Chains A and B, each alone.
Chain A
């Protein structure tokens, strides 16, 4: 039997085996009140190595607010485990197009939210330099950032699968 999910979590130092399915996580989840996210079920499915959760959109409905992790009576690092499951999902090629776009923004501009014309004008109204003192002002630094992303093979990670 391939026990991939529990193994990956354990290797990352995230032990979810002490979960007693009490549901405090789900009951505390601000997203779960409005959406299909059921944290307790994700923990159970991960423990039972149900890899289908990796392709489930619910994994991306977590705002990472950490309330479940703070309240867990067994001190399970739930939010961190969920992030680990997300990273596994990315490796399997499950990536929302909106998130891919944000990654591409960082590669191109050094910022997830790049400067726009409207804000340039707002900056001038406030007496600020229209171009902020960040990587977007320094082409060499931006190239350095891109080189770093390449060294991490980030381009391969976000490449369309």
Chain B
């Protein structure tokens, strides 16, 4: 299916609208047919709902999927958490008729029926498979002379049995998309490690979550990069707002800019940090912004 609906989830529209704006800019430039998905709710958050009750998790996820089925569009997510919830639920329901019947009994209460007619896509795997890094390069107007610490996040690629995006210890497809913008994806210690936010840990065990984040940040700082790039607003929130919390908790002085891939690509497509909401981040790094404006003005 070529047509997509944009599933916003919670953190993008309600905390980091810059990612919403950047995603819409990029998809328009790439001439990808994407619509809104009105009335969609929380995916629902896998760390809590999938950990609480499977039937409720499936019901809420399938309601979101049905909204897109009605539009005859595949769902596009820009969040690993939403991708995990929606793609997992979609797959489980499609392969288990009994589970589908059970979920449809709940959906019937609100006059809905899950049919299993659409796919759930993540913007990174979508861009990689349907556009490809080579073709993407042709759209780039502002090659980015940046060193980037790429964070894949967990649920984009795992469980690999279901994602089918290759092996998970040292994947490269996302790095290729980053490098298509002209940036360099710098290797760093524990690159594939979790940001520490998922599974309800950020909300339930804040200090432990920040300890994991601090370890990631230390590894990233050692690599000497310009910014962190992610594909998940929850990782984004953990890296951005979490940095301030880490500084407060552990007396550190991290100030590493954090960009969602849509925002990185947006810069390379000629949009400004202001238009992409990068300046709305909790981390305000003037040096980084100055560098971006210099790149955009052709001074670097």
Q: Mark B12-38, 1 if CB is under 8 A from A, else 0.
A: 011101101100000000000000111
List B residues 194-252 near A (Cβ within 8 Å): 194, 196-201, 203-205, 208-209, 211-212, 215
The answer to whether A30 touches B194 (Cβ under 8 A) is yes
The answer to whether B18 touches A148 (Cβ under 8 A) is no
A110 in contact with B42 given A35-B208, A63-B199, A103-B52 (CB within 8 Å): yes
A99 in contact with B48 given A112-B10, A133-B38 (CB within 8 Å): yes
The answer to whether B196 touches A157 (Cβ under 8 A) is no
A31 proximity list for chain B (CB < 8 A) = 194, 196, 201, 208, 212
A134 in contact with B56 given A65-B194, A66-B159, A119-B15 (CB within 8 Å): no
The answer to whether A67 touches B277 (Cβ under 8 A) is no
Q: Given the complex of chains A and B, what is the CA–CA distance between A132 and B37 in angstroms?
A: 10
By the criterion of a CB under 8 Å from any partner CB, how many residues of chain A are at the interface? 63
Q: Given the complex of chains A and B, what is the CA–CA distance between A33 and B216 in angstroms?
A: 12
Q: Given the complex of chains A and B, what is the CA–CA distance between A144 and B13 in angstroms?
A: 21
B15 proximity list for chain A (CB < 8 A) = 113, 119
Q: Given the complex of chains A and B, what is the CA–CA distance between A1 and B52 in angstroms?
A: 27
The answer to whether B215 touches A145 (Cβ under 8 A) is no
Q: Mark B174-207, 1 if CB is under 8 A from A, else 0.
A: 0000000000000000101110111111011100
The answer to whether A114 touches B51 (Cβ under 8 A) is no
A86 proximity list for chain B (CB < 8 A) = 51-52
CB distance from A99 to the nearest CB of B (A): 5
Q: Given the complex of chains A and B, what is the CA–CA distance between A151 and B60 in angstroms?
A: 11
Does A149 lie at the interface of the complex (its beta carbon under 8 Å from any beta carbon of B)?
A: yes
Total cross-chain contacts (CB, 8 A): 210
| Segment among B106-114, B118-126, B128-136, B139-147 that sits at the interface with chain A | B106-114
The answer to whether B41 touches A115 (Cβ under 8 A) is no
Q: Mark B277-290, 1 if CB is under 8 A from A, else 0.
A: 10010000000000
The answer to whether B194 touches A122 (Cβ under 8 A) is no
Does A111 lie at the interface of the complex (its beta carbon under 8 Å from any beta carbon of B)?
A: yes
Q: Mark B33-57, 1 if CB is under 8 A from A, else 0.
A: 0001111111011111111111110
Q: Mark A24-66, 1 if CB is under 8 A from B, else 0.
A: 0000001101110000000000000000000001001111111
Q: Given the complex of chains A and B, what is the CA–CA distance between A133 and B199 in angstroms?
A: 27
Q: Given the complex of chains A and B, what is the CA–CA distance between A99 and B46 in angstroms?
A: 11
CB distance from B250 to the nearest CB of A (A): 12
Partner of B194, one of A35, A67, A127: A67
Partner of B203, one of A34, A62, A98, A145: A98
A70 proximity list for chain B (CB < 8 A) = 158-160, 168-169
Does A137 lie at the interface of the complex (its beta carbon under 8 Å from any beta carbon of B)?
A: yes
Does B59 lie at the interface of the complex (its beta carbon under 8 Å from any beta carbon of A)?
A: yes
B127 proximity list for chain A (CB < 8 A) = none
Partner of B51, one of A83, A132, A141: A83
Does B73 lie at the interface of the complex (its beta carbon under 8 Å from any beta carbon of A)?
A: no
Does B295 lie at the interface of the complex (its beta carbon under 8 Å from any beta carbon of A)?
A: no
Q: Given the complex of chains A and B, what is the CA–CA distance between A35 and B155 in angstroms?
A: 21
Q: Given the complex of chains A and B, what is the CA–CA distance between A90 and B52 in angstroms?
A: 6
The answer to whether B20 touches A99 (Cβ under 8 A) is no
CB distance from A108 to the nearest CB of B (A): 11
CB distance from B21 to the nearest CB of A (A): 5
Residue among A63, A99, A103 with the highest chain B CB neighbour number at 10 A:
A63
Does A76 lie at the interface of the complex (its beta carbon under 8 Å from any beta carbon of B)?
A: no
The answer to whether B198 touches A65 (Cβ under 8 A) is yes
A126 proximity list for chain B (CB < 8 A) = 17-18, 21, 275, 277, 280
6 A-B pairs closest in CB distance: A132-B13, A66-B158, A65-B194, A64-B199, A141-B39, A151-B109
The interface of chain B, by Cβ under 8 A from chain A, is: 8, 10-11, 13-15, 17-18, 20-21, 36-42, 44-56, 59-60, 63, 106-107, 109-110, 154-155, 158-160, 168-169, 190, 192-194, 196-201, 203-205, 208-209, 211-212, 215, 275, 277, 280
Q: List 20 A-B contacts (CB under 8 A).
A: A34-B212, A35-B205, A60-B204, A62-B201, A63-B194, A63-B197, A63-B198, A64-B47, A65-B158, A65-B199, A66-B155, A70-B168, A87-B52, A90-B51, A96-B200, A128-B20, A132-B14, A133-B8, A138-B38, A141-B41
